[in-house]
């Protein structure tokens, strides 16, 4: 049975996957600067005898199998500008940079899946996979405009074009051995907001003779919150957070400049567009009010990732495969988050599903969250993630495409032996 075989092979490769992950963890690189990471991925693919090409400068795309059909698997490879505080023996050797979001594990597990797929091909013949599995090692997930958008622009979803794409993310809220899915909208769109408020500052004891950008900024921050509390349908999700404010240098001087920045998160495209227009309009209106004197407010919007929407049919398929591989009791529902993820660009182009892989030790109630300098994952999750990626790809290509993308209550895997 493929389920037991692939899990056995993945567990046998545990030490290799762990070695790769620790190598990557020790040598993290920031978004779009993953030069050594890319070279290391290429060396591992060469070791496995898997052909690849480089895209988006540091991205790597490999292919296993042959045939007319194609399915894609994706991992991100970049790290975060965080100083690591785990004190692991393989802690980051690059000051101020850390794999605090698990991308080292994502990359190691996709390389592990590549090894499993190559082993399967060698054992059963060049056409045994039933098509092409495209392995996407993507740079720059943590930094807009996102490596996914660049790789798509450079043709990663062409020649051959995948019928579907699957990816996974480590989940510190889930224990090792579990995997969690959500069908439909999983994560929010992520837009960056930057304000610069300028005025003629002056003496703090004579506020009537100046314009106060700090007061204007305070009103802007509080009044913009009504956008979510009073303009968004309460049954929908949205967040507007102003996260930085900088202005002034003395207790008796009203400054002439205040800078703010924040983020807008939304699950709904129409409301996202309406909210951005409203933020821009409200900023201009408030700055022109005579209550604040002669002030100017500039707003710069940096469009972020779209909302991540999992295709119902591919999610149904992947979830069913996970139940076959891991057991139904280990497959859970995932609560949508207001996080952002540039995997969303792929699922706007082709059907796809992004799932969450449990990495919390079973005997722990909680561990530090993602983007935390103390984040540590349980490496026993690595062979599970590698096996699941390979298994989903193999079973997708073993299923007729019209069944693989069949939604509703249908059971596209029910006619196949595992």
Domain of residue 62: give its range: 2-186+307-404
Contact between residue 347 and residue 306 where contact means Cβ atoms under 8 Å apart: no
Residues 85 and 218 in one domain: no
- Tell me, yes or no, whether 98 lies in a domain: yes
The residues, any chain, with a CB within 8 Å of residue 310's CB and separated by 6 or more, are 181, 182, 183, 184, 185, 186, 347, 352, 353, 354
- Taking 90 as the threshold, does the pLDDT of residue 117 lie above it? yes
Residue 408's pLDDT band (boundaries 50, 70, 90)? very low
Total-model pTM: 0.92
Residues 346 and 295 in one domain: no
Residue 242's pLDDT band (boundaries 50, 70, 90)? very high
Q: Quick: pLDDT tens for 146-173.
A: 999 999 999 999 999 999 999 999 999 9
412 CA to centre of own chain: 28
Mean pLDDT of the chain: 94
Average pLDDT over residues 361-386: 97
Residue 411: the pLDDT is 39
Residue 2's pLDDT band (boundaries 50, 70, 90)? confident
- Taking 60 as the threshold, does the pLDDT of residue 418 lie above it? no
- Tell me, yes or no, whether 71 lies in a domain: yes
- Tell me, yes or no, whether 416 lies in a domain: no
Residue 403's pLDDT band (boundaries 50, 70, 90)? low
- Tell me, yes or no, whether 179 lies in a domain: yes
CA angle 288, 289, 293 (to 5 degrees): 90
Average pLDDT over residues 260-274: 95
| Six token digits for residue 359 | 């990495």
Residues 16 and 154 in one domain: yes
State how many domains the chain has: 2
* Domain CATH code at residue 311: 3.40.630.10
Provide the edge-to-edge strand list for the sheet that holds 352-360.
Answer: 52-55, 59-65, 132-138, 70-76, 164-175, 352-360, 179-181, 331-333
What whole-number distance in Å separates Cα of residue 141 and Cα of residue 59? Answer: 11
- Tell me, yes or no, whether 210 lies in a domain: yes
- Taking 50 as the threshold, does the pLDDT of residue 410 lie above it? no
β-strands 132-138, 70-76 pairing? parallel
What whole-number distance in Å separates Cα of residue 265 and Cα of residue 263? Answer: 6
Residues 97 and 86 in one domain: yes
More confident residue, 56 or 408: 56
Q: Quick: pLDDT tens for 27-53.
A: 999 999 999 999 999 999 999 999 999
């Amino acid at each position: 049975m493929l389920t037991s075989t692939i899990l056995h092979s993945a567990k046998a490769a545990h030490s290799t996957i762990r070695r790769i992950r620790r190598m990557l963890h020790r040598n993290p690189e920031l978004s779009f600067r993953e030069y050594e990471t890319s070279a290391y991925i290429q060396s591992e693919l060469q070791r496995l005898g898997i052909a690849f090409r480089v895209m988006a400068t540091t991205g790597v795309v490999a292919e296993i199998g042959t045939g007319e059909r194609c399915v894609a698997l994706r991992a991100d490879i970049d790290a975060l500008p965080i100083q690591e505080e785990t004190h692991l023996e393989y802690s980051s050797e690059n000051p101020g940079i850390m794999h605090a979001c698990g991308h080292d594990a994502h990359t190691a597990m996709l390389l592990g899946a590549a090894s499993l797929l190559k082993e399967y091909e060698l054992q059963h013949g060049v056409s045994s996979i039933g098509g092409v599995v495209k392995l996407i090692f993507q740079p720059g997930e943590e930094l807009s405009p996102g490596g996914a958008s660049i790789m798509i622009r450079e043709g990663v979803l062409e020649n051959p074009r995948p019928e579907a794409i699957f990816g996974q993310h480590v989940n510190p809220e889930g224990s090792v051995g579990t995997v969690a899915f959500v069908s439909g909208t999983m994560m929010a769109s992520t837009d960056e907001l930057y304000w610069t408020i300028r005025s003629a500052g002056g003496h703090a004891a004579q506020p009537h003779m100046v314009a106060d950008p700090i007061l204007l900024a305070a009103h802007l921050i509080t009044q913009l919150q009504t956008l979510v509390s009073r303009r968004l349908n309460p049954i929908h999700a949205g967040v507007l957070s102003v996260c930085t404010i900088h202005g002034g240098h003395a207790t008796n001087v009203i400054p002439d400049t205040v800078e703010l920045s924040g983020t807008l998160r939304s699950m709904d495209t129409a409301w996202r567009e309406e909210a951005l227009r409203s933020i821009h309009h409200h900023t201009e209106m408030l700055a022109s009010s005579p209550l604040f004197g002669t002030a100017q407010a500039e707003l710069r919007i940096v469009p972020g990732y779209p909302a991540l929407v999992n295709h119902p049919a591919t999610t149904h398929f992947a979830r069913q495969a996970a139940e076959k591989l891991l057991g139904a009791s280990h497959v859970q529902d995932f609560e949508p988050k207001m996080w952002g993820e540039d995997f969303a660009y792929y699922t706007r182009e082709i059907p796809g599903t992004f799932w969450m892989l449990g990495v919390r030790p079973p005997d722990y109630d909680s561990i530090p969250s993602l983007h935390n300098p103390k984040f540590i994952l349980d490496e026993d999750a690595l062979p599970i993630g590698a096996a699941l990626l390979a298994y989903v790809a193999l079973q997708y290509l073993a299923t007729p495409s019209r069944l693989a993308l069949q939604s509703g209550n249908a059971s596209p895997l029910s006619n196949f032996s595992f």
